[in-house]
Structure 1
Amino acid sequence: MHKLNRIAISVGLAMGLASASAVAEAADRSWRMATPWSGGPWLERDAQLYADRVNQLTGGSIEIEVFPGGTLGGALRVTNTVKAGVAQISHNYINYDYGTDPTAALLAGHSSGLTPEEFMLWMYEGGGVELYEEFRRDVFDVVAFPCAILGTEIFLHSNKKVETLEDFQGLRLRTSGAWAELASRLGASTVVMAGGDIYSALERGVIDAAEWGSPEMNRPTGFQEVAQYVIIPGVHQSGGFLECQVNEDTWNELSEEEQEILRLAGKLTVFETWLASSFADLDAYQELVDGPNEIVHLDQSFIDTIYEETEKWEDEYAADNEWFARVLESQRGFKDAMSRWPEYRLPMGGIER
């Protein structure tokens, strides 16, 4: 599906055509991009970056206008907005469609232990991106591919100190998706609520704890102001992806070269967002370390229990869902191959200098 030589030729031509002839043909297509995001880096950086790269690589023949969540349809129903043609394209989180098919959790990222870097390797060299596009077309009738990376999240912003499985029992936890199921199985009392409601719920004691995103994503929420403990590592979401979806009719109107360029723009912005978000996380996490919050590390026995429960959960869904089984088999095969990695590669950030 991904013909690298043709991509290289297409990109070279696209860049070269950013000249008078390309300008004359600019904005042949004006697309609307639906998103779930009301603001922040996912809207203002990641979605806009993809739109800019498409415009650049097509020599201006496709212009994409990015819309905040809720302006083109339901913020959590972006897939329907694209499928119906209200928007030609989206910037989305596949896990919002978890209720339709839990395979979405494997492709979005869950408590599998795959880091962002491992996820990228599996996606682009281990067959993940082909499975991703085939799954979206088969089950949801949209064309989709990764176009941004998700960093490792903070496990909890919490008003209750959590280190062990025992501490987790009865915790009133705001979460969503696959982790809502797994956390319940591990003894938490889970609550699903919109991101905009989390701050006040923590402040008023409606919930004990919440998970949301990486240090960069959590910084502007102010959760650290109303929750004493910052609990790490984010084993519930060790890495993952955001996606771009294209309406099938819109996609079929494109030439094969244009389709390849849209995919390439996604791959490029995955790399660029990995650079930007990883670097921003360093500064955001340092603020937490230097601030008044207490940093709490999960006990290894609790982490091991999370991974054991995750495997049981995966096996249960794989037994009844062919797509889930296909993606899980691919990811587990990749993880087996990666088991040799520590033998010859140094850990990132783990060497004393």
Structure 2
Amino acid sequence: MIEFKTTAGALTLALGLGLGLAALPQTATAQDSVTLSMATPWSGGHWLEIGANSYAEIVEQVTDGRIKIEVYPAGSLGSALKVTETVQNGIADMGHAWGGYDWSVDRTSALFGGWPGGPNPEEYMMWLYNGDGLTLWKEWREDVFDVVAIPCGVTETEIFMHSHKIVRTPEDLQGLKLRTSSAWAEIAPKLGASTVVLPGSEVFSALERKVVDAIEWGGPGGNLEAGFDKIAPYIMMPGLHSPAAVHDCIVNKNVWEKIPEKDQALLELAGELAMLKTYLGYAKMDLAAYDQLKESSSAEMIIVDDSLVQAVKTASAEWAAEQSADNEWFKKVYEDQAAFLASLSGLSEFRFAPGGR
């Protein structure tokens, strides 16, 4: 939990940022320093290293060391799948969270945690910072979970499937036993698949032992590290089920209220910087891994047919309409997100997509 130590670094930082003395709280010249504990659902890998750890490093930098964050791997501070609950209960001061793990509480989490009809990485960032996404996210987190949300990372587009069976068309989904999570676990059955939700620790063995026909997990970088291409002969792309997701660094309300307003603003700033760092970091990792998969993996890479793309689009819209019918938060966020995505259509007319030249 919180540890306070006295320091005199606040004045130097504020002047260096050009804030001036008027911007400082009354106690800033002898401000307390804080060590915050951060729970995560990640036992290792890029979401821990590039994600949670990067946010902690940025916070320490922008606060001149006044705020330090001790990052705990999955399970060492509360349950790996219940980071939000761990923060709510004060077991951890804050958490590095993914909305998909709050799925059982509110389906609105999928709109931030990645879903088949959702934004890609760039679109998520534009919706958050050029649209109403950030405001809606904060209001939703506070209203439903009573925590403070700071978006702090945008994830990669995932690989659609590592599979023992070829999946190219809607017909290929019929009877497929698929390990997945969040919205896709309810949308894929509309197309004939049978879905199974398993924790991350069981995904590899389930695919290896053919408990499931196929799995989805992450992007090329994370999946290459996991070795899925070595145990299943087919890799399906692109990631229709999750074009991207956003992680948030959630803070216990009581802890947040003890942090001076100026430092609260710096924690928010660190979130924006971490968004950029994760966007660039995951893209670099995924591109290198994708090249390696093409060059050295024995798995066959398959681009799904447009008929499957359209079928997923239709099923996702149907699912979203069902959720909107009896969930006011879902309806509010979904309609705003959909309208913003529609407003971006001109981008494809006057600029090249990354890698498209």
Do Structure 1 and Structure 2 share a fold, with TM-score over 0.5?
yes
- Structure 2 residue matching 1:235: 3-state secondary structure: coil
* Aligned partner letter, 1:122: W
- Separation of aligned partners in 1, 2:17 and 2:271: 20
The amino acid of 2:62's aligned partner reads L
Counterpart among 313, 328, 348 of residue 334 in structure 2: 328
Q: How far apart are the structure 1 equivalents of 2:36 and 2:173?
A: 46
Out of 131, 142, 146, the position equivalent to 2:147 is: 142
CA distance in 2, matches of 1:12, 1:109: 36
**Equivalent residue in structure 2 for 1:51, among 24, 49, 56:** 56
Q: Is the 8 A contact 1:229 1:295 kept in 2?
A: yes
* Aligned counterparts of 2:300 and 2:221: Cα–Cα separation in 1: 18
**Paired amino acid for 1:335:** L
**Which residue in the other structure is 1:349 paired with?**
355
> Deviations 1:243-296 (Å, cap 9, x if unpaired)?
100000011112221111111101100101111110111010111111211000
Cα distance, 1:112 vs structure 2? 1.2
Q: CA RMSD in A?
A: 1.9
Aligned to 1:309: 315
Asked if the contact 1:157–1:210 (Cα under 8 Å) also holds between the matched residues in 2, the reply is yes
Instruction: Measure, in 2, the Cα distance between the counterparts of 1:299 and 1:91.
Output: 36
Letter in 2 for 1:337: S
Give the Cα separation in 2 of the matches to 1:205 and 1:214.
Answer: 21
Query: In 2, are the aligned partners of 1:27 and 1:63 still within 8 Å (CA)?
Result: no
Q: Name which of 85, 110, 115 aligns with 1:105.
A: 110
How far has the Cα of 1:46 moved from its partner? 1.4
State the alpha-carbon separation in 2 of the partners of residues 64 and 82 from structure 1.
14
Query: Does the residue aligned with 1:205 lie in a helix, a strand or coil?
Result: coil
Deviations 1:169-205 (A, max 9, x none): 1111100111100011111111111112122211211
Mapped contact 1:14–1:58 kept (Cα < 8 A): no
Residue 212 in 1 paired to residue 210 in 2? no
- Compute the TM-score of the two structures, normalised by the length of structure 1: 0.92
Q: 2:188 aligns with which of 177, 183, 187?
A: 183
Give the residue type in structure 2 aligned to 1:304: Q
Query: CA offset at residue 44 of structure 1?
Result: 2.2
- Structure 1: unaligned runs, 5 residues or longer: 1-8, 18-23
Structure 2 residue identity aligned to 1:13: A
Asked if 1:339 is matched to 2:345, the reply is yes
- TM-score (norm: length of structure 2): 0.91
Greater displacement, 189-198 / 160-169 = 189-198
SS of the residue aligned with 2:150?
A: strand
Tell me how many residue pairs correspond in the alignment: 337
Whole-angstrom distance in 2 between the partners of 1:57 and 1:204: 47
Q: In 2, are the aligned partners of 1:111 and 1:237 still within 8 Å (CA)? A: yes
For 2:176 and 2:184, how far apart are their aligned partners in 1?
A: 14
Residue number in structure 2 paired with 1:319: 325
Amino acid corresponding to residue 321 of structure 2 in structure 1: D
Counterparts of 1:274-285 in structure 2 under 5 Å? 274-285=279-290
Match of 1:158 among 139, 163, 166: 163
In structure 2, the gaps of 5 or more residues are 1-9, 19-28
Contact 1:94 1:107 in 2 (8 A): yes
Q: Which residue of 2 aligns with 1:238?
A: 243
**Matched-pair contact (CA < 8 Å) for 1:26–1:60:** no
- d(CA) in 2 for partners of 1:201, 1:342: 40
SS of residue in 1 equivalent to 2:68? strand
* Structure 1 residues 12 and 326: alpha-carbon distance in aligned structure 2, compared to 1, 3 A threshold: farther
